[in-house]
C-alpha cells in the first residue's frame, strides 16, 4: 500500500489548484466564505465553468465527457474543489444518477440524460426518504402501477434536498407488494418534475433556510422508458448508488479549508487550553480521515471494484468532523455580534446538524459496518 503522492501527482495538484483559484468568481468565493445563501444560478454558474473546462465529471468515461484521470488524480481534484472554496457541485445528477445510468441505463437513457446533466441543463434531486421510511428505506410505500406504456405513481417523499430547484427526480418506488423480502419489488424511476400531479412543499429548517421539501405524487404518469434497470430490481441500483453517495460525504478538502479558517479566526483563543485541545483533536481526526480515504482509493485502484460497506467509515467520521468544526467556529465567535458573517455562521451551525442523518444516519452506518464488514 502506497499512500504518498508521486512528483507527477504533486505537479498535477499544483496545476489544478492554480486553475481553480484563477477561475472561481470572486463573488461566489465570498458568498461561500461568509456562509451566505447560494441560489440555483450560483450553483449552476460554477458547474458550467467547470463543464466548459471539461472538469465537471472527472469520473465519467471519456466518451461521455470524463477526463480520463486515474483514481488518485480524481481524488486530488475533489479535495482541491473543496479547498478552493467554491460552491459545492450538487451531487444528485453528477455523482449519483449519472453513475447509475452509466452502469444500469439503456443507451437511449444515457444519450438523453447524460449530456444535459454534464452541461447543467437539468437539475436533479433524489426521491428516497419517506415519512416513516428513512433509515429503513426498504419500508417505502410510494407505489407505481404499470398501465400499458406508463407507470402511475402515488405517494410521498420527504427531506428532498433542493427539490424546489429540480427539473428531474430519481425515485425508488414499490412496483410489487407481493414479495417475501421488502427489498424486492422496488423499482428505480426517473420523473420529470413538471409532470402533472407532482407537488413540492417546503420544509423550513431550524436555521430558517429552505433547502429540503416534501414531494407528493398524485396519479403521476411516468413513461415506462424511464425505468432504470429491471422492474422490481431497483434495490440493486439503490445499493450501488449509496456507495457513491457515502464516498463523497467525507468532504476532506472542504474540512481542511474550514480548519484553516478556524485557526485564523480563533487565534485569540489559543491561550484557552480546552479550546486548543478540541482544535488539535479535530485536526488529528481529519488527518486520520484523509489517510483512511487514501486507503480506500488505493484498494479501488488495485481491485477496480466500487466502494464497499466499510466506506461508511468516511461518512461517520467526515460528518462528525464537519459538525465539530462549526461548533468550534461558533464557540470562537462573538455571540453578541449581529453582522452578516455571524448570522451566516449561526445558520451554518444549525444546518450542519443534519449531516450525521442524511445518506443514512450514522447509527445505521455503524450497523452496516458491524454486519457487512465485521460480521457481527
Establish whether 8 is a catalytic residue. Answer: no
Burial of 315 (0-12, 13-18, 19+ CB in 10 A): buried
Task: Please state, in angstroms and rounded to a whole number, the distance separating the CA atoms of residues 78 and 73.
Answer: 9
Contact 321, 285 (CB under 8 A): yes
Q: Which of 79, 245, 254, 290 is catalytic?
A: 245
Q: What is the DSSP letter of 372?
A: I
Strands (E) in the chain, as ranges, are 124-127, 143-147, 150-157, 168-174, 186-192, 198-204, 210-223, 227-228
Task: Please state, in angstroms and rounded to a whole number, the distance separating the CA atoms of residues 99 and 94.
Answer: 8
Contact 86, 32 (CB under 8 A): yes
Cell numbers at residue 149, please? Answer: 406504456
Contact 28, 86 (CB under 8 A): yes
Task: Please state, in angstroms and rounded to a whole number, the distance separating the CA atoms of residues 350 and 345.
Answer: 9
In this structure, what are the phi and psi dihedrals at residue 117, rounded to the nearest 5 degrees? Answer: -65, -45
Cell numbers at residue 242, please? Answer: 449509496
State the first-to-last Cα distance of the chain, in angstroms, to the nearest integer: 27
Catalytically annotated residues: 245
Amino acid at each position: 500500500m502506497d499512500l504518498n503522492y508521486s512528483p507527477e501527482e504533486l505537479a498535477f495538484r499544483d496545476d489544478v489548484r492554480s486553475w481553480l483559484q484563477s477561475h472561481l468568481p470572486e463573488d461566489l468565493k465570498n458568498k461561500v466564505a461568509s456562509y451566505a445563501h447560494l441560489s440555483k444560478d450560483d450553483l449552476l454558474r460554477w458547474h458550467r465553468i467547470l463543464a466548459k473546462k471539461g472538469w465537471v465529471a472527472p469520473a465519467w468515461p471519456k466518451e461521455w465527457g470524463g477526463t480520463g484521470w486515474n483514481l488518485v488524480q480524481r481524488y486530488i481534484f475533489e479535495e482541491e474543489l473543496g479547498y478552493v472554496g467554491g460552491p459545492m457541485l450538487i451531487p444528485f445528477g453528477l455523482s449519483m444518477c449519472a453513475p447509475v445510468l452509466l452502469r444500469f441505463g439503456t443507451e437511449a437513457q444515457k444519450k438523453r440524460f447524460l449530456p444535459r446533466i454534464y452541461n447543467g441543463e437539468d437539475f436533479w434531486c433524489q426521491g428516497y426518504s419517506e415519512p416513516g421510511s428513512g433509515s429503513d428505506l426498504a419500508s417505502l410505500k410510494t407505489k407505481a402501477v404499470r398501465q400499458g406504456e406508463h407507470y402511475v405513481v402515488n405517494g410521498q417523499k420527504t427531506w428532498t434536498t433542493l427539490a424546489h430547484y429540480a427539473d428531474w427526480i430519481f425515485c425508488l418506488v414499490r412496483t410489487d407488494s407481493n414479495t417475501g423480502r421488502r427489498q424486492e419489488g422496488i423499482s428505480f424511476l426517473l420523473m420529470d418534475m413538471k409532470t402533472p400531479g407532482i407537488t413540492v412543499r417546503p420544509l423550513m429548517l431550524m436555521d430558517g433556510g429552505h433547502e429540503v421539501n416534501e414531494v407528493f405524487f398524485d396519479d403521476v404518469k411516468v413513461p415506462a422508458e424511464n425505468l432504470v434497470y429491471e422492474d422490481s430490481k431497483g434495490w440493486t441500483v439503490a445499493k450501488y448508488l449509496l456507495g457513491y453517495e457515502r464516498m463523497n460525504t467525507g468532504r476532506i478538502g472542504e474540512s481542511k479549508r474550514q480548519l484553516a479558517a478556524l485557526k485564523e479566526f480563533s487565534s485569540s483563543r489559543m491561550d484557552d487550553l480546552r479550546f486548543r485541545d478540541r482544535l488539535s483533536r479535530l485536526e488529528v481526526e481529519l488527518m486520520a480521515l484523509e489517510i483512511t480515504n487514501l486507503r480506500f482509493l488505493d484498494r479501488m485502484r488495485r481491485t477496480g471494484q466500487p466502494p464497499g460497506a466499510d466506506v461508511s467509515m468516511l461518512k461517520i467520521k467526515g460528518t462528525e468532523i464537519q459538525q465539530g468544526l462549526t461548533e468550534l467556529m461558533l464557540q470562537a465567535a462573538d455571540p453578541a455580534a449581529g453582522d452578516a458573517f455571524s448570522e451566516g455562521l449561526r445558520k451554518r451551525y444549525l444546518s450542519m446538524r443534519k449531516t450525521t442523518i442524511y445518506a443514512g444516519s450514522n447509527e445505521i452506518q455503524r450497523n452496516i459496518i458491524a454486519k457487512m464488514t465485521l460480521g457481527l
